[in-house]
Structure 1
Amino acid sequence: MAAAFIKAANAKIRSNPWTDYFCSTHFWGPASNFTIPLAAIADTQKSPDLISGKMTCALIVYAFTFMRFSLAVRPPNGLLFGCHTVNATAQSVQGYRFLDWHYWGGKERKLLSEGEEVAKGTRVQAGPAGGEKK
């Protein structure tokens, strides 16, 4: 009885192209995979000293590899291609931030600007003569 119900439900789902796509891995694979680029986009608001250069490089290669794969499968998976395009872009931004922070003077610029802010924001107060404590 249950097998007949499942078979009938599957036939009903597969008869409509929209529900057939919505219930397939061509939809749910990319939909669940979108968490990777969303995390990378969210990480652009964090400090660049937290970025792993090796992982970012691996994720860029992964994104470009699966962009190619998404077009090689039949039928081509546009949602997967879009997911990995967003991922490649977000990871490339993270890669640029990593290189800027560690190799192109970003860390030094930040320290310099923080030092200037401290110098501008503090007032030198005159204390008792001779450094005596009250």
Structure 2
Amino acid sequence: MAAAIKALNAKIRSNPYTDYFFSTHFWGPASNFGIPIAAVADMTKDPEIISGRMTGALALYSAVFMRYALAVSPKNYLLFGCHFINCASQLTQGYRYVQYFHMGGQEAALKAKELTGATQTKVLEAVEKAKDVVGKK
């Protein structure tokens, strides 16, 4: 059994593509891509749920690991790309956080909700009046 595993490992390692595919240079970044995917998906959500501290920590973490990805030998461009996307996403989230909590975005959102609520009330009143007019005929 050990000889079969050793032969399979030698077969995998002899091909540069399968050697890369079965290495940590591929599977580390591939498993890490969940973080940037989640960050990109969070960009459409309400800025109320953004944590400023966590966003800053993730941006710093990704910046450090972008440097690490280029410092190892051989350079790991897949890891660099993963952390580049995450860093850019976290910086965008950081901008949304600052704009919402420190530059008047929260007040603007509340005002927009109030206007939307008032508009919906007037529309419902108009619908009720139209029903009454139609019902009297």
| TM-score, scaled to structure 1 | 0.88
1:104 is matched with 103
Once residues 10 and 119 of structure 2 are traced to their aligned partners in structure 1, the CA distance between those partners, rounded to angstroms, is 72
Shift, 1:119, TM fit: 2.5
Matched, 1:30 2:25: no
Give the fraction of aligned pairs with identical amino acids, expressed as a percent. 56
Equivalent positions of 1:87-102 (< 5 A) are 87-102=86-101
Q: Secondary structure at the match of 1:58?
A: helix
Q: Distance in 2 between matches of 1:120 and 1:40?
A: 34
- Aligned mates of 1:118, 1:11 — CA distance in 2: 68
1:57 aligns with 2:67: no
1:17-74 deviation per Cα after TM superposition (whole angstroms, max 9, x unaligned): 0000000000000000000000111111211111111110000000000000000000
User: Counting helix residues as a fraction of each chain, which structure ranks higher?
Assistant: 2
What's 2:18 paired with?
19
Task: Structure 1: give runs of 5+ residues left out of the alignment.
Answer: 126-134
One-letter amino acid of the structure 2 residue matched with residue 75 of structure 1: P
CA RMSD of aligned residues (A): 1.3
The whole-number CA distance in structure 1 between the counterparts of 2:116 and 2:51 is: 29
Give the length in aligned residue pairs. Answer: 124
Give the Cα separation in 2 of the matches to 1:45 and 1:121: 24
The offset of 1:121, in angstroms, is 2.9
Provide structure 2 residue ranges, at least 5 long, that are not aligned to the other structure. 126-137
Note the C-alpha offset of 1:113.
1.1
* Amino acid in the other structure paired with 1:61: L
Q: TM-score, normalised by structure 2?
A: 0.87
Map of 1:119 onto structure 2: 118
